[in-house]
Amino acid sequence: MIIVGERLNGQFGDVEQAIKQKDESIIKDLVDAQVEAGSDYLDVNVGTAVPSREKADAMVWMVETIQKFTDVPLAIDSPIDEVLKVGVEACEHPPLINSAQADPEELNDYIQLAMKHDASLIALTMDEDGVPNDVAKRVELAGNIVVAAMEAGMPFDRLFIDVVALPVRATQAQPGIVLEAISQLQGIADPSPHFIIGLSNVSQGAVKRSLINRTYLVMCMAMGLDAAILDPMDEELMDALITTELLLNKQIYSDSFLNAYRSSKRRG
């Protein structure tokens, strides 16, 4: 499982404060904790901590600050082109670009950006019409993404298709639609692209968020999800993730299987 740590995001109060006050110690603590918990990438998103015109600078500050403390690669996360580009350019290691929509022009721009930086790319199964209400349209958009990547010569192991999880509280059929889409997309290409979701979306506005998150992660992994943007510091979530890998025969059983996985994922 490829784990993208979600906590370096200006939507969280501590990170907002860090960005506003240029407080490196808050950033360092979140870097250390997420790396220790097994993150393969650290997501970096300035959120709404600063006005739009200051977001590019804030992104560069975040990227440069984080890289003082770790060499774990970053997922540069912004809906704003310019913010995303300066973030990618500030990376010392090839990042994960988060994210492109499936509209042809935007998709091709971002694939080119990824190719230029040897980066990986998250491409969303949504377009100018928004997030599809059904399985078929998600699968169709994923097909478009795969074709665009193929035509650009982008290796599929650098392509992350995000099937776009939506809140169960608001749209209760959507979690099941996403599960079915993940299932149908298995085998869409060989080698397969990765399949990813922003996990905590599913519990937006709901109670028992951690329970909902970890239950949904297990369901999605059973269907073939192999990457997620999530809070790796949520210990019960990580226990569920590790146990799912065990049951999918992706990790050898030992009585210390939880610790064994954590040790294997930990890096400096």
Chain residues that interact with a second copy, rule: CB under 8 A: 168-169, 172-173, 175-176, 179, 183, 202, 206-208, 211-212, 215-216, 218-219, 221-223, 239-240, 243-244, 246-249, 252-253, 255, 257-258
User: Is the CB of 66 or the CB of 166 nearer to a second copy?
Assistant: 166
User: Is the CB of 61 or the CB of 216 nearer to a second copy?
Assistant: 216
User: Is the CB of 53 or the CB of 208 nearer to a second copy?
Assistant: 208
Q: Contact, 23 vs 17, CB < 8 A? A: yes
Q: What residues have CB less than 8 Å from 31, skipping those under 6 apart?
A: 8, 42, 66, 69, 70, 72
Round to whole Å and give the CA distance between 154 and 156.
6
Work out how close the CB of 10 gets to a second copy at its nearest, in angstroms, rounded to a whole number: 28
Round to whole Å and give the CA distance between 77 and 8.
10
Work out how close the CB of 123 gets to a second copy at its nearest, in angstroms, rounded to a whole number: 24
User: Is the CB of 129 or the CB of 235 nearer to a second copy?
Assistant: 235
Strand partners, 197: 228
Work out how close the CB of 125 gets to a second copy at its nearest, in angstroms, rounded to a whole number: 19
Round to whole Å and give the CA distance between 124 and 166.
13
Quote the DSSP letter at residue 53: G
Work out how close the CB of 243 gets to a second copy at its nearest, in angstroms, rounded to a whole number: 4
User: Is the CB of 20 or the CB of 169 nearer to a second copy?
Assistant: 169
User: Is the CB of 136 or the CB of 173 nearer to a second copy?
Assistant: 173
Work out how close the CB of 124 gets to a second copy at its nearest, in angstroms, rounded to a whole number: 21
Q: Contact, 98 vs 120, CB < 8 A? A: no
Token pair listed for 51: 């006005």
Work out how close the CB of 194 gets to a second copy at its nearest, in angstroms, rounded to a whole number: 19
Tell me the three state secondary structure of residue 194. strand
Tell me the three state secondary structure of residue 228. strand
